[in-house]
Structure 1
Amino acid sequence: MALQARPHLIDRLPKPRGRLTADAPLGQQTWFATGGPAEVLFRPADVEDLAAFLGALPADMPVTVLGVGSNVIVRDGGIRGVVIRLLRGFTGISVEGYEVVAGAGAPDLNVALTAREHSLAGLEFLSGIPGTVGGAFPTNAGAYGGELAEVLISAQAVDRAGRIFTVTPKELGLSYRHSDAPADWIFTSARLRAAPGDQLAITRRINEIDGARADSQPRSRTGGSTFANPPGHKAWELIDAAGCRGLKVGGAQVSEKHTNFLINTGAATASDIEKLGEEVRRRVFDKSGVRLEWEIRRLGEFQ
């Protein structure tokens, strides 16, 4: 007698208008290019589709949001439950007067370039953040003299029960690399404040940021800045002082170019990268007494 196949999680989920995929590979969709699969990957068609799906989802079902895969380690065992990616339907960018409205799936760079096309200044710093608009909220992402909290007018989010909210920066409690927003909120769009500017000057600033990144940051398989700067310190200086420049674990290495970046030299597992980060934290604490906090999110199960 043939054994009956075990039902897959995807068979128990509500049927959305968007796309559901079982056992979807995630590793190559991350900037580190390593890691396990999503048990189920959901790409909603729009905000209403996302809200309806979440509202019909069992309350105990794990839900994880994944952007363009920067600033994240997907562990080798993959991610249980439903992984949501906001792609088509969430990447639009529009300009309304001196305000820019961007979907959560829009790359930060594209927002900065759209503002430039309309001679709007104040969003150039976004060109230096390797991620999407939606990914900026949990850590109040910032770089090169700017941060989300300074330009955010309002944001739209969907909670785990499928309710849609519009909130202000004050309600989100944004501070350095921190947000008080509920952990289960999925941000779907943002309204950003800009100001009239000279297009040539805006272009120069974006080029300066790109040049600074090229000069100081590795362009290999990396997840971006690994640890938040502790109060009164720069993470890279603490890492360098602890003798971690070039340190390796398996196929993972601390960048020789910028020590607050970990890189996949070609065959690193997610475990290699995370173990390397923990070793860096240990050495920095032993040397300086400062405990570095991860800025990169670590998601999923160990293999």
Structure 2
Amino acid sequence: MSASVSMTESPLPPLRGRVQRDAPLGAATWFRVGGPADWLVRPADVDDLLRLLRRAEAPITVMGAASNLIVRDGGVRGIVLRLARGFGDVEVEADGVVAGAAALDATVAEHAAAAGLSGLEFLSGIPGSIGGAVAMNAGAYGAEVADRLDWAEIATVDGLLRVRAAELRLTYRRSQLPPGGVVVRARFHAVPGDAQAIAARMADIRESREATQPVRARTGGSTFANPPGHKAWALIDAAGCRGKVLGGAQVSEKHCNFLLNTCAATAADLEDLGEAVRAAVLAHSGISLEWEIRRIGERSA
């Protein structure tokens, strides 16, 4: 794929899905910031996606539910791929759930609970979709995707692959997808459980999120990964950054591993505040925090 394509000609093959040029992205992100994509593509189905991967003539950036994402103010060059209709089915089996990449994590947890299957309750506490959860081995409340994933179907330029969980080498907030691979479906194993106990566990998770995280604000997920042996929020708090403000961005007072768009933040405000927090933590503790939030695109000139 070429690195640059004139905006006067399309880098896309004929597709059956939805294609938008100069497509706004900010409103689709939880932070509500960011510039446009040169091209935004929502494939109709797996065949459409495979055609795009094989024949596109510009770089492809995958965008999921955008719950843990900053789109930079200058927008994203090339093609932004977003899976939507055709990729959101959830199928409940006797000992697990098969879910499309666009299915929300919480929706998968709810399907499992309705079927009396236990083990996937933790997904109800993770904002985002299944594709992103697999790609980053998402986790919360004492469990992570690696604990429950059986396999993932991944679209590549060479076709559709079914990859066992062990082959993805899942580690803390990381997986090793095939180069250029896009998760389209995944299976999670679960076990029969008591419906009331499952419902109670999910209610506890919801209450905990409400009590400890700024879930009703313009925010993303956890900003930084927890360093080995440490909690990112505690390091940020100890460095004096709780409530820190830069432009329209703020470190949450409620949970200081969350950044907030208080009203009129730019993507640069959020990213620069995050970097200021990293610098403060490094100076205070000697620990370098790693971004957990993805940042894509270009900064404004």
TM range (shorter): over 0.9
Tell me what 2:200 maps to: 204
Tell me what 1:94 maps to: 91
| Aligned pairs for 1:6-21 within 5 A | 8=7, 11-21=10-20
In the alignment, structure 1 residue 194 sits paired with structure 2 residue 193 = no
Asked if the contact 1:120/1:196 (under 8 Å) is kept, the reply is yes
Among candidates 274, 288, 291, match of residue 291 of structure 1: 288
Against the structure 1 CA distance between its residues 57 and 241, is the aligned structure 2 distance closer, same or farther, given a 3 Å change threshold? same
Deviations 1:236-278, CA, capped at 9 Å, x for gaps: 0000000000001100000000000000001000000000000
Deviation at 1:182, TM superposition (A): 3.3
> How far apart, in 1, do the equivalents of 2:198 and 2:297 lie?
40
| Aligned pairs for 1:103-182 within 5 A | 103-159=100-156, 161-182=157-178
Deviations 1:146-202, CA, capped at 9 Å, x for gaps: 10011001000012x252110011100001111122352100000110100111111
Asked if the contact 2:101/2:131 (under 8 Å) is kept, the reply is yes
Q: Which amino acid aligns with 2:38?
A: E
SS at match of 1:154: strand
Q: Which amino acid aligns with 2:34?
A: G
SS at match of 1:223: coil
Aligned length, in residue pairs: 295
Asked if the contact 1:53/1:162 (under 8 Å) is kept, the reply is no
Q: Which amino acid aligns with 1:67?
A: G
Asked if the contact 1:225/1:261 (under 8 Å) is kept, the reply is yes
Tell me what 1:229 maps to: 226
Tell me what 1:3 maps to: none
Deviation at 1:19, TM superposition (A): 1.0
Tell me what 1:24 maps to: 23
Structure 1 segments (4+ residues) deviating >4 Å: none
Give percent identity, aligned residues only: 56
Deviations 1:62-90, CA, capped at 9 Å, x for gaps: 10111111100000000111101100000
> How far apart, in 1, do the equivalents of 2:207 and 2:9 lie?
45
> How far apart, in 2, do the equivalents of 1:63 and 1:95 lie?
32
Asked if the contact 2:135/2:183 (under 8 Å) is kept, the reply is no
With the length of structure 1 as denominator, give the TM-score of the two structures.
0.95
Among candidates 203, 209, 223, match of residue 213 of structure 1: 209
> How far apart, in 1, do the equivalents of 2:162 and 2:17 lie?
23
Deviation at 1:12, TM superposition (A): 3.6
SS at match of 2:135: coil
Q: Which amino acid aligns with 1:266?
A: C
Deviation at 1:7, TM superposition (A): 5.9
SS at match of 1:178: coil
| Alignment root-mean-square deviation, CA | 1.2
Q: Which amino acid aligns with 1:46?
A: D
Asked if the contact 1:158/1:164 (under 8 Å) is kept, the reply is yes
> How far apart, in 2, do the equivalents of 1:7 and 1:186 lie?
25
> How far apart, in 2, do the equivalents of 1:56 and 1:132 lie?
26
Q: Which amino acid aligns with 2:167?
A: E
The gaps in structure 2 that reach 5 residues or longer are none
SS at match of 1:113: helix
> How far apart, in 2, do the equivalents of 1:13 and 1:56 lie?
7
SS at match of 2:171: coil
> How far apart, in 2, do the equivalents of 1:177 and 1:67 lie?
16
Tell me what 1:75 maps to: 72
> How far apart, in 1, do the equivalents of 2:182 and 2:85 lie?
16
Q: Which amino acid aligns with 1:22?
A: R
Asked if the contact 2:64/2:102 (under 8 Å) is kept, the reply is yes
Deviation at 1:294, TM superposition (A): 0.2
The gaps in structure 1 that reach 5 residues or longer are 1-5
Deviation at 1:27, TM superposition (A): 0.2
